[in-house]
A and B are shown apart, each in its own frame.
Chain A
Amino acid sequence: MTPLVELRNATKDFRGIKAFSDVNFSLMPGEIHAVLGENGAGKSTLTKVMAGVHTLSEGELLIDGKPERLETPSAALAKGIAMVYQENSLVPSMTVAQNIYLGHEKTFNRLRGIYIAAQQFLQSLSFHVDPTALVSSLGAAQKQMVEIARAVHQQARVIIFDEPTASLTPEEKRYFFQLIRNLKKNGVTIIFISHALEEALELADTITVLRDGELVASQPASSLDRNGIIRLMVGRELSGEIYADTTETRKIRPLGRKILSVENLSMGGLVRNSSFSVYEGQVTGMFGLVGSGRTEMMKVVAGVIKRDFFHGGQVRLFGRPIRYRVPAPAIRDGIVYVTEERKQEGFFETMSIAENIHIGQVVKNRGGGFQVMSMNSAREAADTWRNRLNIRAINPDAKVIELSGGNQQKVVIAKALIQKPRLVIFDEPTRGVDVGAIAEIHAFIKQLADDGIGVVVISSYLPEVLAISDRILIARQGKIVEEMEAGTATEESIMYAAVH
């Protein structure tokens, strides 16, 4: 049988960074195909190539056995391939019905007619969503339903779902699974990306596992079990080359004083009754899949976002209850958060290295009155940090935008550390950073812990978590579900705790 969609020796790179390489992938007609892998394994990019969002750098895309080049999502849709994205792609100011019919409107539209048709269509899918409601008024699960309904409405032959169940309740998931099975019965082929292995095992006919941008397995779901999939997802033989400082070769730092105590913390639906502690003189690694709430937990601690006003739990810093509405008081109390979104939140890209680092100091010392700023002292402080962190730039006054990713990240770190923190929270500190800079950043993080500072490192990359953590916290569904000693934790055990 000819595969409906096929990728041959497919490679996709973004300015030299490979999202996936040399992948051979076949999608057979009428099958449900699960694509699994860690964060950053290349799952979304692979499916986006099939949906016309990205084009291949190398290799071939074949549809019905014929080579095709899908330049746009509409070109993919014309070939019968639709994608339901992880990030919402609905127009919030339009109604549910208008979103479903967007791009397929008749010349003369009668709104009432669209609503009636949408109502019938949504009912046929067992989705209880009001077609006249504005999308901006819907919850995450209902938005997801509208996304799914839109893809089904486009009568696609292939529907790609990226993390379709992440925001659905168990009841909604049941409906969704039934919908998938119904679509299959009607001859629609499904690809879905998921972190929930049980869903893949329950629904899929074929499971493909990606790891570090390479396809490591593509086989019938019946031949795999949960543990086997986890092994395939995390089994990096090459990981030791970059993260050679594994727990077997290094000494775990002893616990110091308890710096931070988070008790029953809640924040919206993302953090649910979560409790954990952080100790001085240790690197506390925090691992969790996307949506596990780990970043939000630490953002609440650092005052970037606020916890729930009603029964939001309690956060204590050195035993003292704290509640920050903005980051400034947290910084003054010694808590700094090094963001994962460095380009949006980490620095001012048109300002120089010295100016960016100096801003950190200004925030720390912000008082009620006027402050006299000396650019000479700012440059001196920046020079100290440039040397400490080995920030490489053509000249000291170079703008941050001109630096490489690794050096930009070092500026963000310097800006945080000039504030003399007692607790530093690194969120994905090495994301988009070259290998050399990764080693330098890791060495610096370890040095901070050796100096007695409390360090939290949030990371989606298991070898990184294992290489630098003394203690590992694992987040799932908005709470810390497991604590592991770095000496006994393995990639498999961490992943097992993160998905079960």
Chain B
Amino acid sequence: MSLMRPIKQGLARVLGGDGDYSVTVPVMDGPLKPNDVIEATGRVAQIPGGANIAEIDGTLVASRGPDLLTVSASGEAAPRGTYDADITALAVSDRGAIALGLSGRGVVIENPDGTRRHVDSAGDRALNCVTALAFLPDGALAITNGSADFAPEAWFHDLMHHGASGVVAVLDPGADTATLIATGLRYPSGICPIDGSADRLAVSEAWRHRLVEISRTGRKVVGDLTEELPLYPSRIVPLRDGGYALCNLSVRSQLIEFVLRERRYLRRMIRDVPPEFWIAPALSSKHSFKEPLQAGGVIRLGIHKPWAPTRSYGAIVGLTPDFHPAWSAHSRADGHRHGVTSLVQTSQGLVALAQGNGDLFAISETGAPLAQAEDTAKDAS
């Protein structure tokens, strides 16, 4: 057994055989069947460079770099505050506390009474790459730290370096330091309580394309909730009527999967090619002719084929209460609302932010467009 395993793995690697070495990508069909919902739905606001959104007392707030902005009903963005570093994650508690992840600086919690807490480590791990925050029913704050080696802005560097240094931590109310509850994760980038439980947490592990359940008291990964997603999952948002909405960084492609398995090529690419031109997922693409996958776009007569291979993609997946995909909304290769990484449920539906072009848009809780966009994202770009 012990000898056969490496032999089999070696054979699979050389022959392109089973398992990881088959370089396959799960198909997007059934509830994940591509559509143009994200492109077709109406725009709420536009915040170029926006990274996160949340709702405080019925008002949308968004982060752009180190700035926190208030977004009015008419789509106007006004400054609300500025922080020491880029804001990488946002969460708002029922009691009105705001938690902010700051790039390389940990987490800041601002309470409604004006007090402020700062946490920059969990156990012996620095919270340098806070990717998601969620308040739990008992008031604790769940934190995912995507990578020990890279900042949130360099998220795809962690993928291309086969990073597996992500951690999940919980900051209990009144505690000075966060407690590690899971380590060795491959870029945890979303977290939320399962069924409103303070003990059971759903965490999206982007590079393993799955959602896992983590037990807070057991301090371990209990098992998979959803696996083999064709996307790089990101933030998870519980919906009021049950179920969850899952944001995604980008879509998987066979080319990227292939490059990830070709270690020597990968090393040379990282060494010789500027990161923006790597064969790697991105939050937006089509900015330069030097980008990879241009030929795959099959642009004829000015039409970019929506099914073409792409580095960036926009997708929101609706999950049932037991975490099975139920519906999905997409912005495909020819779209512009890519990199949908932040979402909040409001009275108007699900409002999401596409980092690719900074559009804030709304879709219904069942993944339908809410209104035809008068000025489409394409015009804006």
Inter-chain CA distance A234–B358, complex, in Å, is 48
Question: How many chain A residues touch the partner (CB < 8 A)?
Answer: 25
Contacts of B15 in A (CB 8 A): 309-310
Is B31's CB under 8 angstroms from A264's CB? no
Contacts of A262 in B (CB 8 A): 27
By secondary structure, the B interface counts as loop
Chain A, range 246-290, C-beta contacts under 8 Å to B: 255, 257-258, 261-264, 275-277, 279
Contacts of A321 in B (CB 8 A): 18-19
Is B26's CB under 8 angstroms from A261's CB? yes
User: Any chain A CB within 8 A of the CB of B227?
Assistant: yes
Q: Of all chain B residues, which has the CB nearest A284?
A: B30
Contacts of A323 in B (CB 8 A): 18
Contacts of A312 in B (CB 8 A): 17, 22
- B interface residues with partner A (beta carbon < 8 Å): 15-19, 22-27, 29-31, 33, 224, 227-228, 254, 324, 326
Contacts of A258 in B (CB 8 A): 30, 324
Inter-chain CA distance A473–B29, complex, in Å, is 10
User: Any chain B CB within 8 A of the CB of A314?
Assistant: yes
- A interface residues with partner B (beta carbon < 8 Å): 255, 257-258, 261-264, 275-277, 279, 309-314, 316, 319, 321, 323, 471, 473, 480, 483
Number of A-B contacts (CB under 8 A): 63
Most A CB within 10 A of own CB, among B19, B22, B25, B324: B22
Inter-chain CA distance A480–B24, complex, in Å, is 15
Inter-chain CA distance A279–B18, complex, in Å, is 23
Shortest Cβ gap from A487 to chain B (Å): 13
Can you list the 6 inter-chain pairs with the closest CB atoms, starting with the nearest? A275-B27, A263-B24, A264-B24, A311-B16, A314-B24, A314-B22
Q: Of all chain B residues, which has the CB nearest A265?
A: B24
Is B30's CB under 8 angstroms from A264's CB? no
Is B31's CB under 8 angstroms from A310's CB? no
Given A264-B22, A309-B15, A314-B22, verify A319-B227 contact (CB < 8 Å).
yes
Contacts of A473 in B (CB 8 A): 29
Inter-chain CA distance A321–B227, complex, in Å, is 13
| One of B29, B30, B228, B324 near A316 (C-beta < 8 A) | B228
Is A264's CB under 8 angstroms from B254's CB? yes
Q: Of all chain B residues, which has the CB nearest A278?
A: B30
Q: Of all chain B residues, which has the CB nearest A282?
A: B30
Is A314's CB under 8 angstroms from B18's CB? yes
Is B26's CB under 8 angstroms from A263's CB? yes
Shortest Cβ gap from B117 to chain A (Å): 41
Contacts of A261 in B (CB 8 A): 26-27, 228
Contacts of A264 in B (CB 8 A): 22-25, 254
Inter-chain CA distance A462–B377, complex, in Å, is 40
Shortest Cβ gap from A481 to chain B (Å): 11
Shortest Cβ gap from B31 to chain A (Å): 6
Is A311's CB under 8 angstroms from B31's CB? no
Contacts of A277 in B (CB 8 A): 26-27, 29-30
